[in-house]
Amino acid sequence: MNKTNPIAEIIAIGDEILIGQTVNTNSAWIGQRMSEAGIPVKRAIVISDDPTEIAASLEEALQRADIVLITGGLGPTRDDLTKNTLAQFFGSTLVRDDQVTQDILKLLASRNVPMIDLNLDQALVPNNCRVIRNANGTAPGMWFEKDQQVIVSMPGVPYEMKVMMDEQVIPALLSAFKVPAIVRKTIMTTGIPESKLAASIADWELSLPEGVSLAYLPSPGIVKLRLSVSGENQMKLRQLINNLADQLVTIIPEAVFGYDDLTLEEVVGVLLRERKQTVATAESCTGGTLASLITRVPGSSDYYKGSIVAYANEIKTTFLKVPGEMIQAHGAVSCEVVERMATNIRDIFAGDYAVAISGIAGPAGGTTDKPVGTTWIGVASDDGVKSACYQMGEHRERTIHKAALAGLNLLRLSILKDARG
């Protein structure tokens, strides 16, 4: 086929997606994988399990795209209509595929599931498609070609579709089409709002070489900066992107905590493990979210001591030994209380570091002096205790998540400062 610079579209089929019963994670995942392969996805839609809608959407997509990727509607039940619709669309007849039949028999036997006619009917495929075998399910994928265009239909079950994409579909697409080398690097930042970040790097951004693009990808507590470039020489492109990323780090050194998919909790874990140090946590408004993030990392038992979730004031006084008169004088959300929480939890668990968080997550509880979203975070170490006050906003879930990330970041900066001496 050897067509150059193809573009793709995604059609996700399923009434369960349209009514909100299932979240369409497939399209996002496919978009990411296709982008990494150098094939841009220009459109993604969700449609119902309706033959007319499937055919019309495919016809429209083929007017714009070189590649159409379809997920869903390939199950054994009567509401799964994609295969029959595609057979009619491409003027096919359904025939039994012996390899698929054997795949189904083997899979069901391994799961001790009895064979029924509906399962066996999964081996019926259009006679003019290339079969994509399914190692994890009974529904095979189907590859069609029409006027130098490729249409691929895959199951909607994510773990079935993903293996097909990675092991069969993307390699076949890269053989069928000529795509440019594409290099991307994502710089992970935290502790600086998107608008302030943009102002800080404005001159650097304006000086980016022609062909290099920068995308801001904000989420609560994190802003990803994605550099992208495409061309012929992948090695030179990668060197260019790495140099630009290095320049960026010199402009906002404290904000950058890693690259690509590295998480803040993973970075903190690496810093602690390298130094053979440990950390404990005391949480109020975050209710254990910080502890959950830390322990999400495999092997975190090497450096994580444990936590006390002191949501009620009596827990702060009884278990964390925060004086009641201190809480009465300054409030539970205060510099004095959070620093005492950090100092005492460090002593209790005998850790090298300790992080404490106390805030007003809302929606109630705020005052004029301490509105909803006010959060104090403290970090204790051999060098003493330091704290900072944050305003996380009025959304409860975002406040909790952002506070946990801010606690991790304050810990990260403390470790780096101590390491520099």
Q: What are phi and psi of 372, to 5 degrees?
A: -55, 135
Distance CA(124)–CA(53), nearest Å, equals: 22
pLDDT digits 0-9 by tens, 362-383? 999 999 999 999 999 999 999 9
Largest CA distance in the chain: 82
Q: Show the domain range for 190.
A: 181-259
Domain stops at, among 178, 201, 231: 178
Q: Are residues 243 and 196 in the same domain?
A: yes
Please check whether residues 22 and 167 belong to one and the same domain: yes
Three-class SS of the chain: CCEECCCEEEEEECHHHHCCCCCCHHHHHHHHHHHHCCCCEEEEEEECCCHHHHHHHHHHHHCCCCEEEEECCCCCCCCCCHHHHHHHHCCCCEEECHHHHHHHHHHHHHCCCCCCHHHHHHHEEECCCEEECCCCCCCCEEEEEECCEEEEEECCCHHHHHHHHHHHHHHHHHHHEECCEEEEEEEEEECCCHHHHHHHCHHHHHCCCCCCEEEEEEECCEEEEEEEEEECCHHHHHHHHHHHHHHHHHHCCCCEEEECCCCHHHHHHHHHHHCCCCEEEEECCCCCHHHHHHHCCCCHHHCEEEEEECCCHHHHHHCCCCCHHHHHHHCCCCHHHHHHHHHHHHHHHCCCEEEEEEECCCCCCCCCCCCCCEEEEEEEECCEEEEEEEECCCCHHHHHHHHHHHHHHHHHHHHHHHHHC
Distances (CA, A) of 339 to 53, 118, 392, 402: 61, 64, 19, 19
Domain of 248, CATH number, reads 3.30.70.2860
Mark the ranges of the chain whose per-residue pLDDT is less than 50.
none
Can you give the pLDDT at residue 239? Answer: 97
Based on the fold, state whether residues 353 and 248 are members of the same structural domain. no
Whether residues 174 and 185 fall in one domain: no
Question: 116 and 253, same structural domain?
Answer: no
Residues 225 and 289 both lie in one domain: no
Phi and psi dihedrals of 40, rounded to 5? Answer: -75, 140
Q: Are 377 and 356 in contact (CB under 8 A)?
A: yes
Same domain, 211 and 298: no
The predicted structure's pLDDT at residue 274 = 96
What is residue 79's predicted lDDT score, i.e. its pLDDT?
66
Clarify whether residues 124 and 190 are in a common domain: no
Spatial separation of the C-alpha atoms in residues 100 and 120, rounded to whole Å: 9
Q: What is the CATH number of the domain that holds 302?
A: 3.90.950.20
Whole-number pLDDT of residue 114: 81
Backbone angles phi, psi at 340, to 5 degrees: -70, -40
Q: How many domains does the chain have?
A: 3
Q: Is 138 in the same domain as 223? A: no
Whether residue 368 is found in the same domain as residue 404:
yes
CATH of the domain at 173: 3.40.980.10
As a whole number of angstroms, the distance between CA 10 and CA 43 comes to 6
**Is the distance from CB of 34 to CB of 8 less than 8 angstroms?**
yes
Q: In this predicted model, what pLDDT tens digit does every residue of 273-285 receive, in sequence order?
A: 999 999 999 999 9
171 & 199 share domain: no
Tell me which of 178, 201, 222 is where a domain ends: 178
| Confidence at residue 53, expressed as pLDDT on a 0 to 100 scale | 96
Q: What is the pLDDT of residue 161?
A: 96
Same domain, residue pair 295 and 382 = yes
Of 142, 162, 178, at which residue does a domain stop?
Answer: 178
